């Protein structure tokens, strides 16, 4: 007689798996990758390749030879970490820098906690902040490695990022409108390609395309990105309304620097973000507030990495105390 | 130089003030506890297995210290040795208990019980059996997913991948009873270890009628009663088509093992019988030549 | 605007392969095996003996407790055995085995197709008739219908909700019933309104059943007490707690019953059975069952006699396809996998579904990546990942209760959507039953 499979209900399963989710994130990063390769050429390719290969290799070696556990590189999460870390590097960073960052990200940021699902901090951010603190000069060297495909075709800000230009300009006694006029920061083309900053911050439009893809594929929900972006927008908006001469406008703040890539790809990292809707809103607002505070009053021009790292540490608390709206309690 | 002095002085002062504060806080919030609890806990094996019925060794210690007498409290892991020490410390006496060992009363190996379906859910006997009666036709037998293995704190019970049944390691088993509680089929029994660890046990819990049992398992007890008749010590009872051997009455003669038609009765730790096979010497027709 | 419940929910593939297949009469097979456990609660006590002749509709089992029900012969012939037999999960339940001889019904049963609109029976008569006809909820749980129609003292019903949402993929029994017998469903509804002494009823239908919505809306013109509500397609829209929330916006309190919100929810099939019982004196001996699955050639809807053996059904649809790996009684989300194909059709059986190994086999479990999908989809607003963890280590019943495990409706959304393939619900069920036992024992102590 035929032997059937017997299992508890439900008997069907959605097509999503850890691997398919990670592959979707990689696909969502393709537009950004394409634009950065267009702009930075070989150095972008080199950073990404070194980052991905190092991350995967580190995870493999640690699981195989130190933890003696099942090797989980086939879930593609290490590839995502490597990619995100590379996209958070300055374009001129040497290959060994991203390699060190990758080893730290996976080896310390992820595997010491027990591997996927266990880490407290987003590994890519952990790697980047480690590099930022250990190699501050290299990590803030925003010179453009070599003109390639995009040579001479875009408004290239050789040297510092728009955020640091503003900061230095203000320190030198200029007003915001003067700085903007001098650097052509109001140009709409900057939404599409904006050289000056990390590899992945190159194009707001490419990042938004990635976000739409992730939303359509139901990989992420809008909760975290929207609460981060809205918080940054509102907070900088208040300062700008009070004193437009010394504070940049909210649109500029949202679309420059790491806010978009951070809100869409880094803050939404499953493992290190809260489980409930309300927790995610609090987490998003927290990231936004800390980012703006660091940008406006801290000693770094950009603060999203630190903001995400700080809020990552709060996530276990949010998971413990912020409960979802229960059906039976009518909350 | 001045800076160093100020630092040393202020740190010393702070240390002193905090020490005083700590001292008073410690005095104020001191928890009075019977010091004997610590001493008894030190005598315990420290496995925190819960075999005694308490949450762990400390709560066992609390319980025996606070109660007027040790009474029925018993640490199955430490056994008589530990209980004697505890009793001596508390100035009491305890009765000696026979050492016990867990016995899995199912012989439905892969060979003996055919699989009727494939289970594809969370690997736990409890989960599987709350869904249905299991992947063989037998409603009483071992589900084979190892809840007992997970429950054992002493690494004394393991799944045999060839038979699909758990096996108890007599050396490691402390008789704590964790597996007895974990088994949703109630298959595991604590039996006294017996002389030289020898035991005769009916390895079946199936109370269906013989014909029904036979259909689903080759090694099940069919309730024929032959063992009851052959037992010279009246140690075997038959209830609901299932034989049970009383370990107190059993004298390990193994007559029942011989008469059991399905092989449901199993003798543990007996030396192998003298082989009755024909040896080379018998086979050679020397005398006729 | 289509209504829906507020929290969670998933959108599995619809796969309503049989929605265009009219309901056919399934042939009566030579032997039927009628289980005495047809409803929630205690199984009925058999009242026939071996060798007795029975007619269709004759009582063969009497209720043995308050929550229990009458069981009737679904065929005519000779009782050949009254014996414990394995049900679909392999558990032994008392069955009455009948050898079929002809198809002779009790004389008082009206088998004509004429629709009887006037409700002559009084309130008490209605309850009595429903009880004696052995009508149970056909939506899944099989709760005796007459108990639901007699609210306990102090509780007042306000609305009757007829549940035609049929949110389970594949299943089309209710869809076909609504398209083929809309009038009878409304009359059944009117009878239940009368029994409850109220005047407002809703019929909730998911928007993927356009033809059924059209039919029911047209028919509703003659039944002004009823309003047809179009619901958004989302699983588990048909869950009692969810459909109440969707239609009235109310919520059943923790450990409460639908009646606590003034609602009584009855399935479309139940409404039909009520109509048959009260207007036609016909006990519940047959029900509409969808036989489906992508791997089988004949996708059909049948009306089958209770007690038809599964193995015989498989034969009748042309044998078992080679690739079929799982046989499910009910839908793919909450149906039961069949372990014993010799089990038989129950009153509450709604579908038979055959799935291939590829469609149903679970992927190996991997580490939780805390993606929060289980929290997002939980229609009760629980945290399945946490309940799983707490249930798994088997301690901390108090912690489980604090996290409201007792509210879990076992809909399976969490397990369905988990990308790490963690058997969340398998383990949560165990935790829930431990917690419920604890809650009950505490309530008993008070």
Tens digits of per-residue pLDDT, C236-293? 999 999 999 999 999 999 989 999 999 999 999 999 999 999 999 999 999 899 999 9
Let me know: does C313 contact C296? Beta carbons within 8 Å.
no
Tens digits of per-residue pLDDT, A202-227? 888 999 999 999 999 999 999 999 99
pTM for the whole structure: 0.87
For the record, the structure tokens of B286 come out as: 């020397």
Peptide bond into C236 cis (omega under 30): yes
Q: What gap in Å lies between CA B65 and CA B22, rounded to an integer? A: 31
CA–CA min distance B122, chain A (Å): 8
Question: What is the C-alpha end-to-end distance of chain A, expressed in Å?
Answer: 52
| Site from A274, A328, A330 to mutate, C interface, most C CB atoms within 10 angstroms | A328
Q: Under CATH, which number does the domain C1-20+109-361 receive?
A: 3.40.50.11540
Rounded to 10 degrees, the C-alpha dihedral B4/B9/B14/B17 comes to 170
Is B55 part of the contact surface with chain C (CB cutoff 8 Å)?
Answer: no
Does B274 score more than 70 pLDDT? no
| Per-residue confidence (pLDDT) for residue B289, from 0 to 100 | 40
**Residues contacting B156, CB < 8 A, separation 6+:** B102, B168, B169, B171, B172, B173, B174
Share of chain B above pLDDT 90, in %: 37
Chains sharing 3 or more CB pairs under 8 A with chain A: B, C
For the record, the structure tokens of A180 come out as: 């903007």
Query: What are the residues facing C257 on neighbouring strands?
Result: none
Q: What gap in Å lies between CA C236 and CA B173, rounded to an integer? A: 48
Q: What gap in Å lies between CA A234 and CA B285, rounded to an integer? A: 107
A3/B120 Cβ within 8 A:
no
Share of chain B above pLDDT 70, in %: 94
Mapped onto helix, strand or coil, the DSSP state of residue A236 is helix
| Per-residue confidence (pLDDT) for residue C396, from 0 to 100 | 77
Does A310 score more than 60 pLDDT? yes
B118/A5 Cβ within 8 A:
yes
Averaged over B215-237, what is the pLDDT? 91
Let me know: does A270 contact C369? Beta carbons within 8 Å.
yes
| Per-residue confidence (pLDDT) for residue B16, from 0 to 100 | 95
Mapped onto helix, strand or coil, the DSSP state of residue B267 is strand
For C:344-373, CB contacts with A below 8 A are 353, 355, 357, 359-363, 366-373
Higher pLDDT, B68 or A96: A96
Is C361 part of the contact surface with chain B (CB cutoff 8 Å)?
Answer: yes
Contacts of B122 in chain C (CB under 8 A): 423, 426-427
Q: What gap in Å lies between CA A173 and CA A191, rounded to an integer? A: 27
Find where tokens 């009582």 sit: C59
Contacts of A8 in chain B (CB under 8 A): 121-122, 127, 131
Contacts of C368 in chain A (CB under 8 A): 117
Higher pLDDT, A141 or C97: C97
Per residue, the 3-state secondary structure of chain C, as one string, reads CCECCCCCCECCCCCCCCCCCCEEECCCCCEEEEECCCCCCCCCEECCCCCCEECECCEEEECCCCCCCCEECCCCEEEEEEEEEECCCCCEEEEEEEEECCCCECCCCCCCCCCCCCCCCCHHHHHHHHHHCCCECCCCCCCEHHHHCCCCCCCCCCEEEEEECCCCCCCCHHHHHHHHCHHHHHHHHHHHHHHHCCCCEEEEEECCCHHHHHHHHHHHCCCCCEEEEEECCCECCCCHHHHHHHHHCCCCCCCCCHHHHCEEEEEHHHHHHHHHHHHHCCCCCEEEEEEECCCCCCCEEEEEECCCEHHHHHHHCCCCCCCEEEEEECCCCCCEECCCCCCECCCCCCEEEEEEHHHHCCCCCCCCCCCCHHHHHCCCCCCHHHHHHHHHCCCCHHHHHHCCHHHCCCCCHHHHHCCCCCCHHHHHHHHHHHHHHHHHHHHHHC
| Per-residue confidence (pLDDT) for residue A1, from 0 to 100 | 66
Which stretches of chain B are DSSP H helices? 2-28, 35-43, 57-66, 79-90, 125-131, 147-151, 178-182, 210-216, 226-230, 255-259, 280-283
At B25, give phi and psi (nearest 5°): -65, -45
Is C90 part of the contact surface with chain B (CB cutoff 8 Å)?
Answer: yes
Share of chain A above pLDDT 90, in %: 60
pLDDT band with cut points at 50, 70 and 90 for residue A149:
low
What is the Cα B161 distance to its own chain's centre?
Answer: 20
- Domains of chain C by residue range: 1-20+109-361, 373-445
For C:93-132, CB contacts with A below 8 A are none
Is B116 part of the contact surface with chain A (CB cutoff 8 Å)?
Answer: yes
Element (H, E) at B244: strand B242-245
Q: Which chain B residue shows the shortest CA-CA distance from A10?
A: B121
| Per-residue confidence (pLDDT) for residue C39, from 0 to 100 | 86
A5/B135 Cβ within 8 A:
no
Q: Which of A142-156, A163-177, C219-233 has the highest mean pLDDT?
A: C219-233
Q: Which of A207, A209, A218 is nearest to A255 (CA)?
A: A207
Does B284 score more than 50 pLDDT? no
Contacts of C339 in chain B (CB under 8 A): 116-117, 132-133, 135
Q: Which of A14, A17, A24, A35 is nearest to A192 (CA)?
A: A35
Mapped onto helix, strand or coil, the DSSP state of residue B23 is helix
B135/A6 Cβ within 8 A:
yes
Tens digits of per-residue pLDDT, C378-426? 999 999 999 999 998 766 788 899 999 999 999 999 999 999 999 999 9
Averaged over B68-83, what is the pLDDT? 81
B120/C339 Cβ within 8 A:
no
Averaged over C27-44, what is the pLDDT? 91
> Residues of chain A whose C-beta is under 8 A from some C-beta in C?
1-2, 4-14, 16-18, 20-21, 72, 75, 77, 115-118, 221, 270-271, 273-277, 280, 323-330
Contacts of A3 in chain B (CB under 8 A): 115-118
Element (H, E) at A321: helix A304-321
Does A330 score more than 80 pLDDT? no
Domains and CATH numbers, chain B: 35-90 (1.10.15), 100-268 (3.30.70.20)
Contacts of B121 in chain A (CB under 8 A): 6-8
Is B266 part of the contact surface with chain C (CB cutoff 8 Å)?
Answer: no
The single-letter DSSP state of residue A325 is: P
| Per-residue confidence (pLDDT) for residue A88, from 0 to 100 | 92
| Per-residue confidence (pLDDT) for residue B29, from 0 to 100 | 82
Considering only CB atoms, B121 lies closest to which of C88, C90, C423, namely: C423
Q: Flag the least confident range among B88-102, B258-272, C123-137.
A: B88-102
Considering only CB atoms, C367 lies closest to which of A21, A116, A326, namely: A116
For chain C, the maximum distance between any two Cα atoms, rounded to a whole number of angstroms, is: 64
Mapped onto helix, strand or coil, the DSSP state of residue B102 is strand
Element (H, E) at B199: strand B199-202
| Per-residue confidence (pLDDT) for residue A155, from 0 to 100 | 47
Averaged over B45-58, what is the pLDDT? 80
**Residues contacting C245, CB < 8 A, separation 6+:** A327, C5, C6, C251
Q: What gap in Å lies between CA B165 and CA C107, rounded to an integer? A: 57
Tens digits of per-residue pLDDT, C64-113? 888 889 999 999 999 999 999 999 998 889 999 999 998 899 999 998 88
Let me know: does C177 contact C225? Beta carbons within 8 Å.
no
For the record, the structure tokens of B24 come out as: 């008073």
Tens digits of per-residue pLDDT, A162-198? 888 888 888 888 888 888 888 777 777 777 777 678 8
Averaged over B87-99, what is the pLDDT? 81
Tens digits of per-residue pLDDT, A253-296? 898 888 999 999 999 999 999 999 999 999 999 999 999 999 98
Considering only CB atoms, C426 lies closest to which of B127, B132, B134, namely: B127
Peptide bond into C393 cis (omega under 30): no
Mapped onto helix, strand or coil, the DSSP state of residue B119 is strand
Residue B200, by phi and psi: left (phi above 0), alpha (psi -120 to 50) or beta?
Answer: beta
Q: Which of C421, C372, C381, C376 is nearest to C403 (CA)?
A: C381
At B167, give phi and psi (nearest 5°): -125, 135
pLDDT band with cut points at 50, 70 and 90 for residue A315:
very high
Q: Which of B272, B200, B208, B186 is nearest to B231 (CA)?
A: B200
ipTM at complex level: 0.89
Angle, helix A77-87 to helix A18-40, in steps of 10 degrees:
30
Averaged over A64-88, what is the pLDDT? 92
Contacts of A12 in chain B (CB under 8 A): none
Considering only CB atoms, C426 lies closest to which of B122, B132, B133, namely: B122
Query: What are the residues facing C35 on neighbouring strands?
Result: C95
A7/B119 Cβ within 8 A:
yes
**Residues contacting C432, CB < 8 A, separation 6+:** C391, C400, C405, C406, C408, C410
Q: What gap in Å lies between CA C435 and CA B252, rounded to an integer? A: 45
Q: Which chain B residue shows the shortest CA-CA distance from A3?
A: B117
Q: Which of C345, C350, C254 is nearest to C307 (CA)?
A: C345
Averaged over B252-260, what is the pLDDT? 90
Considering only CB atoms, A326 lies closest to which of C335, C341, C407, namely: C407
Q: Which chain C residue shows the shortest CA-CA distance from B128?
A: C426
Let me know: does C272 contact C264? Beta carbons within 8 Å.
no
Let me know: does C285 contact C105? Beta carbons within 8 Å.
no
For B:103-122, CB contacts with C below 8 A are 116-117, 120-122
| Per-residue confidence (pLDDT) for residue A98, from 0 to 100 | 94
Q: Which chain A residue shows the shortest CA-CA distance from C88?
A: A6
Contacts of B124 in chain C (CB under 8 A): 426-427, 430
pLDDT band with cut points at 50, 70 and 90 for residue B260:
very high
At B251, give phi and psi (nearest 5°): -110, 15
């Amino acid at each position: 007689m035929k032997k059937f499979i017997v299992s508890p209900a439900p008997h069907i399963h959605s097509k999503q798996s850890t691997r398919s989710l990670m592959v979707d994130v990689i696909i969502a990063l393709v537009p950004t990758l394409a634009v950065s390769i267009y702009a930075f050429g070989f150095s972008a390719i080199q950073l990404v390749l070194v980052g991905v290969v190092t991350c995967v290799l580190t995870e493999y070696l640690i699981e195989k030879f130190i933890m003696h556990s099942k090797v989980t590189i086939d879930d593609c999460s290490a590839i995502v970490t490597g990619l995100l870390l590379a996209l958070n590097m300055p374009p001129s960073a040497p290959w060994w820098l991203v390699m060190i960052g990758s080893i730290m990200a996976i080896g310390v940021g992820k595997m010491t906690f027990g591997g996927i699902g266990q880490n407290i901090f987003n590994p890519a951010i952990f790697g980047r902040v480690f590099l930022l603190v250990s190699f501050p000069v290299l990590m803030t060297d925003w010179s453009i490695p070599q003109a390639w495909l995009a040579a001479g075709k875009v408004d290239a800000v050789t040297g510092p990022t728009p955020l640091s230009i503003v900061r230095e300009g203000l320190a030198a006694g200029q007003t915001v409108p003067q700085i903007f006029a001098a650097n052509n920061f109001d140009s709409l083309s900057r939404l599409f390609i904006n050289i000056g900053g990390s590899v992945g911050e190159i194009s707001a439009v490419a990042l938004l395309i990635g976000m739409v893809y992730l939303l359509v594929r139901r990989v992420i929900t809008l909760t975290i990105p929207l609460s981060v972006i809205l918080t940054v927008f509102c907070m900088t908006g208040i300062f700008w309304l009070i004193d437009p001469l010394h504070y940049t406008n909210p649109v500029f703040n949202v679309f420059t620097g790491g806010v978009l890539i951070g809100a869409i790809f880094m803050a939404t990292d499953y493992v290190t973000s809260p489980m409930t809707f309300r927790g995610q809103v609090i987490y998003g607002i927290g990231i936004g507030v800390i980012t703006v505070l660091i940008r406006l009053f801290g000693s770094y021009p950009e603060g999203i990495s630190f903001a995400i790292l700080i809020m990552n540490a709060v996530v276990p608390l949010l998971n413990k105390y912020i409960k979802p709206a229960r059906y039976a309690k009518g909350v | 130089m001045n800076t160093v002095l100020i630092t040393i002085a202020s740190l010393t002062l702070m240390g002193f003030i905090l020490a005083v504060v700590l001292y008073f806080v410690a005095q104020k919030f001191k928890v009075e506890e019977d010091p004997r609890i610590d001493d008894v806990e030190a005598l315990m094996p420290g496995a925190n297995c819960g075999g005694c019925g308490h949450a762990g060794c400390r709560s066992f210690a609390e319980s025996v210290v606070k109660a007027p007498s040790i009474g029925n409290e018993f640490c199955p892991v430490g056994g008589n040795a530990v209980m004697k020490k505890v009793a001596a410390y508390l100035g009491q006496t305890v009765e000696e208990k026979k050492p016990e060992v867990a016995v899995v009363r199912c012989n439905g190996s892969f060979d003996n019980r055919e699989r009727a379906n494939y289970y594809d859910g969370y690997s736990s006997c409890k989960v599987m059996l709350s869904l249905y009666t299991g992947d063989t036709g037998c409603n009483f037998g071992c589900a084979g997913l190892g809840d007992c293995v997970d429950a054992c704190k002493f690494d004394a019970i393991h799944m045999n991948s060839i038979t699909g049944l758990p096996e108890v390691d007599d050396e490691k088993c402390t008789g704590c009873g964790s597996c007895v509680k974990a088994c949703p089929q109630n298959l595991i029994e604590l039996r006294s270890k017996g002389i030289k660890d020898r035991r005769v046990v009916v390895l079946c819990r199936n109370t269906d009628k013989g014909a029904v049992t036979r259909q689903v398992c080759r090694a099940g007890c069919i309730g024929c009663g032959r063992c009851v008749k052959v037992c010279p010590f009246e140690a075997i009872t038959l209830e609901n088509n299932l034989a049970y051997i009383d370990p107190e009455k059993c004298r390990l003669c193994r007559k029942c093992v011989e008469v059991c038609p399905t092989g449901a009765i199993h003798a543990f730790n007996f030396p192998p019988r003298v082989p009755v096979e024909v040896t080379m010497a018998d086979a050679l027709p020397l005398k006729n030549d | 605007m289509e209504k829906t419940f507020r929290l969670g929910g998933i959108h599995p593939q619809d796969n309503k392969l049989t929605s265009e297949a009219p309901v056919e009469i399934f042939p009566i097979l030579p032997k039927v095996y009628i289980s005495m456990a047809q409803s929630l609660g205690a199984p009925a006590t058999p009242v026939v003996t071996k060798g007795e002749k029975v007619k269709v509709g004759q009582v063969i089992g009497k209720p043995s407790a308050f929550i229990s029900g009458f069981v009737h012969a679904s065929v005519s012939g000779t009782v050949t055995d009254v014996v414990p037999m394995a049900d679909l999960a392999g558990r032994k339940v008392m069955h009455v085995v009948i050898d079929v001889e002809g198809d002779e019904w009790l004389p008082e049963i009206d088998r004509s197709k004429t629709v009887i609109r006037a409700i002559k029976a009084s309130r008490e008569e209605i309850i009595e008739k429903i009880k004696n006809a052995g009508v149970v909820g056909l939506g899944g749980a099989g709760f005796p219908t007459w108990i639901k129609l007699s609210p306990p003292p102090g509780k007042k019903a306000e609305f009757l909700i007829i549940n035609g949402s049929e949110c389970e993929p594949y299943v089309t029994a209710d869809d076909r019933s609504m398209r083929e017998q809309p009038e009878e469903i409304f009359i059944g509804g009117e009878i239940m309104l009368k029994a409850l002494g109220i005047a407002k009823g809703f019929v909730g239908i998911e928007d993927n059943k356009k033809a059924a919505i059209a039919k029911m809306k047209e028919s509703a013109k003659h039944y002004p007490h009823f309003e047809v509500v179009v619901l958004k397609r989302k699983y588990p829209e048909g869950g009692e707690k969810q459909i109440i929330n969707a239609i009235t916006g109310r919520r059943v309190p923790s450990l409460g019953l639908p009646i606590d919100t003034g609602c009584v929810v009855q399935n479309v099939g139940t409404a039909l059975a009520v109509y048959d019982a009260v207007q036609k004196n016909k006990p519940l001996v047959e029900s509409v069952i969808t036989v489906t699955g992508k791997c089988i050639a004949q996708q059909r809807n049948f009306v089958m006699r209770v007690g038809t053996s599964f193995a015989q059904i498989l034969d009748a649809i042309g044998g078992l396809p080679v690739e079929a790996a799982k046989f499910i009684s009910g839908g793919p989300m909450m149906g039961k996998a069949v372990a014993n194909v010799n089990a038989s059709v129950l009153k509450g059986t709604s579908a038979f579904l055959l799935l291939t190994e590829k469609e149903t086999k679970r992927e190996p479990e991997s580490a939780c990546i805390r993606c929060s999908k289980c929290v997002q989809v939980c229609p009760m607003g629980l945290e399945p990942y946490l309940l799983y963890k707490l249930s798994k280590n088997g301690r901390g019943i108090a912690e489980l209760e604090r996290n409201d495990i007792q509210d879990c409706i076992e809909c399976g959304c969490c397990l369905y959507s988990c990308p790490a393939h963690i058997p969340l619900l398998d383990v949560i069920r165990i935790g829930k039953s431990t917690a419920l036992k604890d809650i009950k024992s505490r309530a008993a102590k008070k």
